[in-house]
Chains A and B, each alone.
Chain A
Amino acid sequence: EIVLTQSPGTLSLSPGERATLTCRASQSVTSSFLAWYQQKPGQAPRLLIFGASTRATGIPARFSGSGSGTDFTLTISRLEPEDFAVYYCQQYGGSPYTFGQGTKVEIK
């Protein structure tokens, strides 16, 4: 089983700042089959990025993903008020299709 470790656990930033979230896999993720999701309180997750770097439909350009192998990054270039949420990475290169434990981006 691939274990995904996200860091930091909590990121305290102000609107307009840049957010950099990291996801590290315990073994290489096949073909960069890595996705990022955003979840707000009381809501279902929302797909942001798949294939490590491809934005999902309707996702603003301020969200970008990068990485390969075992190290992946989600960057939010300038935080908007609606971006404060929990972010999860997920690998789908091999079963079981595991998620990281999440990074909370909170308002400083």
Chain B
Amino acid sequence: QLVESGGGLVQPGRSLRLSCAASGFTFDDYAMHWVRQVPGKGLEWVCSISWNSGNRHYADSVRGRFTISRDNAKGSLHLQMDSLRADDTALYYCAKDNDWGSLGYHFDCWGHGTLVTVSS
């Protein structure tokens, strides 16, 4: 129901844009999120966007460098990542909010993830 794409190997300081295609639910009824995980390590919330894009929240570690957006007509979520650093290396998951119509910040559906590696 959630399929991420766009990951890959990128040099420090460069940019990358991740996408997530949603299906099987009414996309514009739910807030959406990005969560990342360094392979073999724990989970870190990255950012969130409300159903109508009116509210966007970011972790301090990415604020000012990452931008979350969505296209409700296409059922897609995006993450524009600029000024990438080595510590941004992780598996990036797209996740659906469990709460209908609001930013609940807990996640009931996850994609399989897309791996971002930042290295020279």
Contact = CB atoms under 8 A, between A and B. Distances in A.
A47 B57 CA distance: 21
Interface in A62-108: 88, 90, 92, 95-102
Given A97-B45, A99-B42, A102-B42, A47 B111 contact: no
Contacts of B112: 43-44
A104 to B, nearest CB: 12
Nearest to A46: B110
Given A44-B93, A44-B113, A99 B108 contact: no
Interface residues of B, number: 18
A76 to B, nearest CB: 19
Nearest to A57: B108
B42 A35 contact: no
A45 interface: yes
Contacts of B60: 96
A88 B42 contact: yes
Contacts of A50: 98, 104, 106, 108
A96 B48 CA distance: 11
Interface of A: 33, 35, 37, 43-47, 50, 56-57, 88, 90, 92, 95-102
Interface of B: 42-45, 57, 59-60, 93, 98, 104-108, 110-113
5 tightest A-B contacts by CB?
Answer: A44-B110, A92-B105, A99-B43, A97-B45, A35-B106
